[in-house]
A and B are shown apart, each in its own frame.
Chain A
Amino acid sequence: MNSTLVFAQLLNGLQYGVLLFLLAAGLTLVFGIMSFVNLAHGSLYMMGAYFAATAFQYTGSFGLAVLAAMLGSLLLGLALEFVAVARLYRRDHLDHVLATFGLVLFFNELVRIIWGAQPVFLQVPEFLGGAIDIGGFSYPAYRFAIIVVGLVVAIGSWLLINKTRVGMLIRAGAVNPAMVAALGVNIRLLNAMLFAVGAMLAGLAGAMAGPILSVQSGMGESVLITTLVVIVIGGIGSVTGAFYAALIVGIVDTMGRVFLPFLLRQVTERSFADAAGPALASMLVYLLMAVVLAWRPQGLFPANR
């Protein structure tokens, strides 16, 4: 174990965390502001990845692929909001879980019909194919690009929510939608836009993740559940919380998987460590969440209300 390895894994964790943030930002707003449990968010991520893969296949341009993913999932989000989600805002969480669970089943199968059961491949674009040198240490440029994109989105969404009029309305709508509506704001439209923007970010995450993961049916589910963990740890409805929690979860998960079996081997018998290490590593973020919730049920950085 040397410092280069630690540093590389730290960056990997950061990259994973940033990817989680792209998903968590949209989900936490829908969660926190409309109080809507959207299990289909992972499906939007998956659809984004497929849109990107298809666009890349036809155009050969990664930029267009990302654009297609964002636009496609934005429109899909709008359609979903219009057909099903908007009717469910006022209902209780059980109905949300039920409806979006149905949507997950639907999209997983739809993808299998359209693109087949085999994974689809999305290549790393040529101009990001190399490695970047950071003080004598090289790191894949594409993963670095993911980190940059995630940070740009983080800053952008912070500015949008805290510094713009729309952001003010979003925050106000979270506290008292009836009052905001009474002031002449189309809260219905605002909600739809918010949902669609969340969907767009999920699509972006899917497109960015496409080249480093395999694009296949069901790819959204594991990442969705990790995203839910991020949101609960960060505090529901808090974008800032989602950002910090995403980084924490990303780094804890990545470092845990690499170093936990190794550390266990130092303190326990090898056979036990080899069995328990990976098990403990894959449970680590869920353990983290349970501990955080037991300690602070509101999450680490609850939204200011």
Chain B
Amino acid sequence: MTPLISRPSAWVPLLALLLLATVPFVAQATDQQFYVAFFARIIIYAIAACALNIALGYGGLVSFGHSLFLGLGGYAVGLASFYGVGNGWVHLALTLGVCGLVALVTGAISLRTTGIAFIMITLAFAQMGYFLFVSLKHYGGDDGMPIAQTSRFGPLDLSSATNVYVVAFVVLVLSIWWLARLRVAPFGMVIRGAKQNARRVNAAGIPVLRYQLLAYVMSGMLCGVAGLLLANLNAFASPSTLAWAVSGELIVIVVIGGLGTVFGPLMGALVFLGLEEILKGFTDHWMVIFGPLIVIVALLGKRGIIGLLQRFDSRGKLPAKITTTTTTTAAAVAATGVATGVAKGAL
């Protein structure tokens, strides 16, 4: 293990996390509350991107419909609040339950297909959700619904941006820690192996489909939590959260940050939303610059920011070489090492 200081791919994101931890204090000291809401948004998008990274980065499942779960999380708060329920635990249980169930059903159908069809069918499910909430005039329709009762977790009420910020930050740190563990756990090895070569993993006696479905469900549930936080931050649930462009943005965030890496989603969200804010300062037509930037990122390939940082990691070892070998052997490792884990009843 090389010391941390010689691995920018690890300490840069950790430093970013550390700086994010100070944001509420700095904002308070300088009386710039706007930044709390702004960085809270970044953190929430980072959580959603972490969620997508499980399916997309680890599992290679190109879901173009994760805005569905973001929106469902938001409406879990919105609808509960509409009927006078302000208990945060109820909101959370609703979010996890609904997102888990929807992910289970849609995932089971989507996973019957691969490639383009998988992208399309996940998109279709998100569109269904979008049109569902747009046409429910009783709950605001396409105007969305204001949330009167934000989530209350005992004494902690997510009514202020600072409170949302703190909770979101904790959720983000936990998600990153969990994703780091998951990546090298037998489960992570199986879905990463299946991304490389599903047939090989299957041949080792591991039911790939079940693992992929579970990954999709976990991904959807975590994304729902991000939606819950977002709705609390805005005190608003809107069908625009379910728009297909949001799914696209989440994919862009994951890819910019570094597909399948632990810190990628965080770095991606920071750069994506940060750049958006900066470009907005220059021109109203910032998308004219932003769009081609995304095209260039796609053309350059997808090592992302983390990949870029890995190039600066300590010389001597060849980081690029090492990462490729670890990923190519993921299928083999999953096939051999994990088979025993499965036999012991890991799943």
Contacts and interface: CB of A to CB of B under 8 A. Distances in A.
Interface of A: 31, 35, 37, 39, 84, 87-88, 93-99, 101-110, 112-113, 221, 225, 228-229, 231-232, 236, 275, 278-279, 281-283, 286-287, 289-290, 293-294, 297
A99 B295 contact: yes
Given A106-B288, A225-B123, 6 more contacts: A37-B116, A84-B299, A97-B251, A98-B252, A102-B293, A289-B121
Contacts of A228: 120, 123-124
Interface of A is mostly: helix
A97 B248 contact: yes
Given A102-B291, A225-B244, A290-B125, A94 B302 contact: yes
B291 A293 contact: no
Closest 4 CB pairs of A and B: A106-B291, A102-B294, A99-B298, A105-B291
Interface in B113-164: 113, 115-117, 119-121, 123-125, 127-128, 131-132, 134-138
11 contacts: A35-B116, A95-B298, A96-B298, A102-B291, A109-B285, A228-B124, A229-B120, A275-B137, A283-B132, A286-B127, A286-B131
A289 B131 CA distance: 15
Size category, B interface: 35 or more
B131 A232 contact: no
A95 B299 CA distance: 7
A94 B53 CA distance: 13
Contacts of B301: 95
Interface in B224-267: 244-245, 248, 251-252, 255, 259
A106 B292 contact: yes
Most chain A CB atoms below 10 A, which of B125, B131, B297: B131
Contacts of B125: 286, 290
Contact of B298 (A35, A102, A104, A106): A102
Given A37-B116, A93-B115, A103-B295, A293 B251 contact: no
Contact of A286 (B117, B128, B298): B128
Most chain B CB atoms below 10 A, which of A84, A102, A107, A287: A102
A225 B301 CA distance: 26
Contacts of B298: 88, 95-96, 98-99, 102
A111 B287 CA distance: 11
A93 B113 CA distance: 14
B62 interface: yes
Most chain B CB atoms below 10 A, which of A84, A110, A290: A290
B112 interface: yes
A31 B116 contact: yes
A93 B117 contact: no
Given A88-B299, A297-B112, A98 B287 contact: no
B134 A282 contact: yes
A296 to B, nearest CB: 10
Contacts of B252: 98, 101-102
Contacts of A294: 109, 112
B39 interface: no
B285 A113 contact: yes
B128 A287 contact: yes
B112 A97 contact: no
A94 B60 CA distance: 9
Contacts, number: 138
Contacts of B187: none
Contact of B291 (A96, A103, A275, A289): A103
A94 B248 CA distance: 11
A113 B288 contact: yes
A237 to B, nearest CB: 10
Contact of B136 (A88, A94, A275): A275
Contacts of A225: 123-124, 127, 244
B256 to A, nearest CB: 9
B297 A98 contact: yes
A39 B119 CA distance: 11
Contacts of B131: 279, 282-283, 286
Contacts of A229: 120, 124
Interface string B277-318: 000000001111011111101110110000000000000000
A208 B106 CA distance: 36
Contacts of A31: 116
B294 to A, nearest CB: 3
A97 B119 contact: yes
B69 interface: no
B169 interface: no
A118 to B, nearest CB: 15
Contacts of A290: 109, 121, 124-125, 128
A293 B248 contact: no
A286 B124 contact: yes
Contacts of A231: 120
A94 B292 contact: no
B287 A99 contact: no
A292 B84 CA distance: 40
Given A102-B291, A275-B137, A87 B299 contact: yes
B111 to A, nearest CB: 10
Contacts of A275: 136-138
Contacts of A104: 248, 291
Contacts of B290: 102, 105
A305 to B, nearest CB: 15
A143 to B, nearest CB: 24
A83 to B, nearest CB: 9
Interface in B191-250: 244-245, 248
A37 B109 contact: no
Contacts of A278: 135, 137
A283 B294 contact: no
Contacts of B117: 232, 236, 293, 297
